[in-house]
């Protein structure tokens, strides 16, 4: 059986820091693409600025291809397009970590998968940008399988920033939990 290959964009952040070890445990050959500020132990390290299309294209030309690209760090349409343009031709599947912030207001309840997309004012530009990225990827799904995850919030052990914790508390107080 051939080893599956996975590229995790943003693989040294909070989500990637949990995802990469799980993929390695499942016998994936994992490549992590980040700016090089955090050296990863175990996976192959690919260093680039994800907003620099030329750097991403150079990497895409040097790799043998991937079974899956998992993008855990795209915050807007442009960075999603840049990564897609570079890597969609060298993978068989695309997985995108989005956010429940893409849903329009759902007063009194958490959003559900079938709710309207477009972002809500409470999330400011973050939700609108993530919604635009999701729409772009949905449009690409005819040429390559795309999976989009939309968690409400990601929290857990090894949380490195207080921003998400503070934001989670603020959302809870605002009745958005």
Other CB atoms within 10 A of residue 94 CB: 24
Give pLDDT tens digits for 72-91.
Answer: 999 899 999 999 999 999 99
Q: In this predicted structure, what is the pLDDT of residue 62? A: 94
CA distance 34 to 26: 22
Q: What band does 129 get if pLDDT is binned at 50, 70 and 90?
A: very high
Query: Residue 37 pLDDT > 60, yes or no?
Result: yes
Q: In this predicted structure, what is the pLDDT of residue 152? A: 79
The listed CATH number (1.10.10.10, 3.40.50.720, 2.70.240.10, 2.60.200.20) that belongs to domain 5-173 = 3.40.50.720
Q: In this predicted structure, what is the pLDDT of residue 161? A: 53
Give pLDDT tens digits for 40-57.
Answer: 778 899 999 999 999 999
Residue predicted with more confidence, 144 or 172: 144
Average pLDDT, the chain: 87
pTM (predicted TM-score): 0.85
SS3 of residue 169 by DSSP = helix
Determine the average pLDDT of the residues in 2-14: 88
Q: In this predicted structure, what is the pLDDT of residue 1? A: 61
Residue predicted with more confidence, 109 or 133: 133
The DSSP code sequence of the chain is -PPPEEEEETTTSHHHHHHHHHHHHTT-EEEEEE-SSS--SSSEEEE--TT-HHHHHHHHHHS--BSEEEE----SHHHHHHHHHHHGGGBS-EEEE--GGGBPP-TTS---TTSPBS--GGGTHHHHHHHHHHHHHHHHTTTS-EEEE--S----TT---HHHHHHHHHHHHTT--
What are the extents of the domains in the chain?
5-173
Q: In this predicted structure, what is the pLDDT of residue 177? A: 44
């Amino acid at each position: 059986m051939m080893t599956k290959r996975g590229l995790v964009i943003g693989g040294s952040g909070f989500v990637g820091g949990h995802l990469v070890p799980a993929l390695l445990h499942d016998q994936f050959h994992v490549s992590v693409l980040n700016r090089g500020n955090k050296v990863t132990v175990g996976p192959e390290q690919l260093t680039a600025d994800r907003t620099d299309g030329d750097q991403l294209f150079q990497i895409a030309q040097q790799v043998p291809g991937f079974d899956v690209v998992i993008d855990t760090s795209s915050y807007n349409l442009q960075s999603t397009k840049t990564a897609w343009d570079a890597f969609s031709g060298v993978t068989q599947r695309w997985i995108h970590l989005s956010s429940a912030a893409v849903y329009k207001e759902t007063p009194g309840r958490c959003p559900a998968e079938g709710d309207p997309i477009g972002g809500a004012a409470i999330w400011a530009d973050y939700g609108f940008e993530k919604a635009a990225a999701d729409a772009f990827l949905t449009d690409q799904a005819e040429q390559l399988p795309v999976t989009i995850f939309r968690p409400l919030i990601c929290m857990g052990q090894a949380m490195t920033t207080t921003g998400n914790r503070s934001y989670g508390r603020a959302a809870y107080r605002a009745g958005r939990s």
